[in-house]
Amino acid sequence: MKIEFNDKGAVATVTITSTAFEFRRHNRAVDTALFLAPGTIASRSGFFLMKTIISGPTSRVSRAYKNVMREVAR
């Protein structure tokens, strides 16, 4: 699983990329981030190589990034 945080000023993005073998772990991390950081938007794509982009205001996306990292370390 690969997780990237990109700060673009007022808007930031978190990109989560994983394979189909990590399907449950990927979905759990994304769902946790969206639940604990309201005001963020997610777009998903891919089947064998899943990619989710979470975007929104920098403060909220950084909170989502921290939650994703905590969930992946679990």
Return the CATH number at 63. 3.30.70
Chain centroid to Cα 24, Å, comes to 14
pTM here is 0.88
Per-residue pLDDT tens, the chain, 74 aa: give them.
Answer: 999 999 988 999 999 999 999 899 999 999 999 999 988 999 999 989 999 999 999 999 999 999 999 998 88
What pLDDT score was predicted for residue 14?
Answer: 95
Q: What is the pLDDT of residue 47?
A: 87
pLDDT for position 26? 94
Burial of 53 (0-12, 13-18, 19+ CB in 10 A): middle
- Which residues span the domain enclosing 46? 2-73
Provide the number of structural domains found in the chain: 1
Instruction: List phi, psi (to 5°) of 47.
Output: -125, -60
**How close are the terminal C-alpha atoms of the chain, in Å?**
13
3-state secondary structure of 64: helix
